[in-house]
Structure 1
């Protein structure tokens, strides 16, 4: 609205689309280590473009105006799950846990090591939780759940129990409270 205070609906819409394209480019360059490094060393040219759906015409916008600044700080490449992420379907979560446990059991764990990047740690603190799975495990310090499943911070919600988990005894007679004592 500051750039087009008296703009028509079409002009403001076009500006909003342009801003969205630049924001997408910024997100790519600031979150993907691979794309950032390839853009920084010239192997990849990242440009913005708009597609007019009705005509099929593509309007090239060129490189991001702040590209040189954006590629100066390479992201860590680590990713953490937060409340902003979509839920993971149960079958996919089970497959992730199974694959992680196979890596751990075969001595190849550590695939999902976390660098401890301060930005990611802040994101974990500020953006809420959305773990892949909930694990109920033993309170034994020799059973580090994240390591057993080769997962990163934010991937699992771990509950630990220090006692034996047993099934409650079967109820005999009517449920409690359904009958008045005489």
Structure 2
């Protein structure tokens, strides 16, 4: 099976916040940002898998700082880990006031995608080989995040989440 690195899936998407994208306070609507994030994550997932990739889940999306009318939005998406037919994508969102050059982090999230054949059946995805310390940290954390997602969706029993249990066992020592 082909192995890929996070760099192979790295995607950057830029958007400009226009009046139609904002709420009554002049801030980017959360739904519009989620839409843009889904597109960027989907591109990263498809670059990694070389297949159609569809959104399976979206983890907690925190809105840390508002994005204002006229700001540029930069969305960075990268695959953090590939499982059998699914993969996790991390997104970091930055807003920039173009006249002043001020750039702040607005959001981060994890999306899960599933790779599909053209007939809609799931297909195996290439393995991911982390290269840097940060990539390895995200890769290791992806299994814990996956187990938590599966527990919350009722598809895994808490006792079967060995990676999550190890966190608490290690904390007790």
Which structure carries more relative contact order (alpha carbon 8 Å, separation 6+)? Answer: 2
Structure 1 and Structure 2 fold alike (TM over 0.5): no
TM superposition score category, shorter chain reference: under 0.3
User: Which has the greater radius of gyration?
Assistant: 1
What is the TM-score when the length of structure 1 is the normalising length?
Answer: 0.23
